[in-house]
Structure 1
Amino acid sequence: MIKFNQVSKSFRRARILDGIELQVGLGERVALIGSNGAGKTTLIRCLLGEYTHDGEVLIQGRNPRLERTQVLGLIGFVPQLPPPLKMPVGQLINFSAALCNTEPQRMLDIAIRLGLEVDSILARPFNKLSGGMKQKLLIAIALGRDAKVLVMDEPAANLDPQARKIFFELLAERAENATMLISSHRINEVSALVNRVVELDMGKVVLDESIAEDVSLTGMLTGRVVSRNPEPALAKALALWNFRTLDDAGTEWVGEIPGPDRLRFLGMVSRYVAVVSHVSLTEINP
């Protein structure tokens, strides 16, 4: 479905993406994690055909840079930063629905479900809405179409707690028939939705972990972490998870992790990729 083949991107002399090699299959739901500046947004922009780059990007065999209209017809996209559109909300919804040949009411229904009082803002320019209102509307536009690929860059950043809850319910409803690439700092919020986590750091993939979907919400995992040398910061982080060390040097750790927290744990460990030589999670038989 999605393929990145040795994708690199630089701005002036700064290397933002460095030889990204990544494939995402149909039905996979990928959490794209990493600190600010790791390359997440640039990778998404390359996927959407917005940037020139070295290497190859394909969506269903199509080049998003050369066949942008056809590729964008396959994608529902929620950007990190809302575009500065002056178009009235009602006109924006009608325009967006026409582009993907869907009914505007589908987008309106999702916006209402997210808590947006649509009737009161239809005549207002999009750029005059609050940050949360813009985000709800952009989510409604992305999910109100029959897109097989959903790409979301920090989609819940400006949502209130209730709207975030509904948003993830909406994604769960699409989990069986769409490929999802979700960039988020809140890994614990998407952990129940995704079946794979990809960590970027300094433009490289430093973690690519498929998650066993047969781990139940009440299941437990045994975790084992080995570091190349003692690292006080890693030791402190593992201690917060109630891990215990197995050697005097403090380089091998074991502990138990609730199944739903597996991605949050992997996200924490990935921050110490420079010193960690091994990490494994094994389901505990009931």
Structure 2
Amino acid sequence: MTLGSRNPRIGIDWERRPSRYLTIDGVPGYQIAYSCGTCGLVLRREPGAPTGLLPATDVRDRLNAGLDGLDTDVIDTFAAQLPRGDYQVMLLDTKPALAAPGSAGDYFSVEGPAGWRNEEFEYSIDPANTSYYRLDRRSIGEHDEFFEFAVPLGDPAELDADVVERYSSACGQPTAVAFGLLDIEGPWFRQERHWGLFHFLLDGHHKTASAAANSGSIRLLTFVSAGESMASDDELLRLPEIINADQREGDR
């Protein structure tokens, strides 16, 4: 879909190359990649990053009840806050697991460094400096691996515990909303590449935290940007097949 606004709240800043930043109301929130394509996936929260959530009052009840398909009103509400461009819009069911920097579940401490490790070179990737959610991991073909993340705009530890608990007993499948980027990176000295699908949460922080705390699932409406992702159109179009294949295996 072609969506977005000429004056979005969410943006991508390439002005300080080789670094790339996700911005909120024009303020850098996260460093999310290097332009080289060989430096590894990046997730680093910027000092002074905004923590305000994006309002979705008009569609709050629909999101809390859970979407069963792509809802035009919900899409329009969030598209007004995104940069103008083409998007792969998907509705996914996934199980989040909270990962703290340096923990055993932290991609940027475990799988990332392993993928860029080489005995002949001193080569490392940037460590994460913020908590986030791991969603999915799977192989793609002979050489590539797919990693999926949900990134809150604030610290999950600062969420309202009562609201998180309330979602633990909610009926249906409450839906979170995210701005997505697919970044594909690989070290220059081998064929293997890591596909990193990042979902930056625009709404549904408490829902996601509740699902993670209870080892439950969350429904996620994500707008994956074609123009701002570091991936080709063909690679972006493969995402539904890759994710659906993983979900089918999980149902067996």
How high is the TM-score relative to the length of structure 1?
A: 0.24
Larger helix fraction of residues? 1
Q: Which has the larger Rg?
A: 1
